[in-house]
Amino acid sequence: MKLFMTGGTGYIGQAVARKAISLGHQVTALVRQETSAAATALARLGVQLHSGDLREPLSFAATAGAADGVVHAASTNDASAAAADEAAVVAMLSHLRPGTAFVYTSGIWVYGNTGAETVTETSALNPTPLVAWRPAVERHVQALAASRSIASAVLRPAMVHGHGGGIFGMLAGMARQAGCVRVVGDGLNHWPAVYVDDLAAAYLSALERAARGDDRVTGRIFNVVAEDAVAMADIGAAIRTSLSADRVEPWPLDDARKSLGPFADALALDQSVSGELARRALGWEPHGPGLLADLSAQTHVQQIDGA
């Protein structure tokens, strides 16, 4: 398949690009700067680079429209995120041909706090403020894609780990600066988790099955979760072990908000989320290490998601 993707230079996107190339797909990725280290790494994989900007959909919509399938995994990660995401989705879906496939990236934060209850794709949504806009975009993707006979799928990844990147790499970087591991809130919460290479496999399965017209995938939403709920106290301890840090300490939410804004509320979520539907419908089975084993075994480096 000829694939177009946004977010290819980001943490998740790089893994998706690697997986797609390994499966023999032709991949074109949106990049802001073709000479950046992340873009150069994609090019070495065999990914074709397309210069553009997520905030300017006309800079890439036609190229996306020439593809057999699209993976949208980018975000501006700022105050413009909602508007930029909506505009990008509309532009790409408006250019895609009937019969093509479109995979949209959402996330489990749309469920808000679940507590001990393990939620599924049919559970009510209560998004944390940082992603309050995402459910509306999910619905728009499904409706617009269906109206144009495009096979869409929405993925809601869990907290992504692996290779020292993502949020866990960020937490480790903060711990190095602070001299201790700081856990937002009281540390009694839980995070669902998925290994980044397993997540990439789910993207490709969703894309390929949607393109084949699989009714179990087209128009559906999937939680991509390998571990339903990992205790934050254990996560903090694993990061402390990996860094040989002195201690793990709670970071009161009100204080964390002063530094992190609404991101702090997302980190304080207490969630248990099932990934069973993805296993059944996508034929997906995670094979990577569990979160705690991964964190304990690695020295983490901070990586920032790109567009």
pLDDT tens digit sequence for 127-165: 999 999 999 999 999 999 999 999 999 999 999 999 999
Query: pLDDT over 70 for what percent of the chain?
Result: 97
Same structural domain for residues 170 and 211?
Answer: no
Whether pLDDT at 255 is above 50? yes
Query: What's the CA gap between 178 and 129, in Å, rounded?
Result: 27
Shared domain for 184 and 263, answered yes or no, is yes
Q: Are residues 254 and 155 in the same domain?
A: no
Residues 68 and 165 in one domain: no
Cα 239 to Cα 247: distance, rounded to the nearest angstrom: 10
Work out the pLDDT band at 298, boundaries 50, 70, 90. Answer: low
Q: Tell me: the pLDDT tens digits for 86-119?
A: 999 999 999 999 999 999 999 999 999 998 899 9
- Asked if 218 contacts 34 with a C-beta cutoff of 8 angstroms, the reply is no
Residues 118 and 235 in one domain: no
Which of 67, 103, 109, 68 is CA-nearest to residue 221? 103
Clarify whether residues 6 and 97 are in a common domain: yes
Read off the CATH number of the domain in which 31 is found. Answer: 3.40.50.720
- Does 131 lie in the same domain as 15? yes
92, part of any domain: yes
| Residues 8 and 105 reside in one and the same domain | yes
- AA identity, residue 63: T
Residues 52 and 178 in one domain: no
Percent of the residues in the chain that have a pLDDT greater than 90, as a whole number? 91
| Residue 239 shares a structural domain with residue 148 | no
Asked if residue 268 and residue 179 are part of one domain, the reply reads: yes
**Same domain? 189 vs 88:** no
Structural domain tally of the chain? 2
Distances from the Cα of 266 to the Cαs of 108, 126, 201, 217, 261, in angstroms?
10, 12, 25, 28, 10
* Residue-level pLDDT at 240: 92
Q: Determine, yes or no, domain membership for 266.
A: yes
Q: Is the pLDDT of residue 301 over 50?
A: no
Name which residue leads in pLDDT, 300 or 263: 263
Question: Which pLDDT belongs to residue 297?
Answer: 81
Q: Which residues contact 218 (CB under 8 A, 6 or more apart)?
A: 151, 152, 153, 210
Query: What is the spatial distance between Cα 273 and Cα 281, in angstroms, rounded to a whole number?
Result: 17
**CA–CA distances in Å: residue 116 to residues 127, 184, 194, 236:** 17, 19, 19, 20
Looking at the DSSP bridge assignments, the partners of residue 183 are 250
Range of the domain at 252: 161-193+227-273+287-297
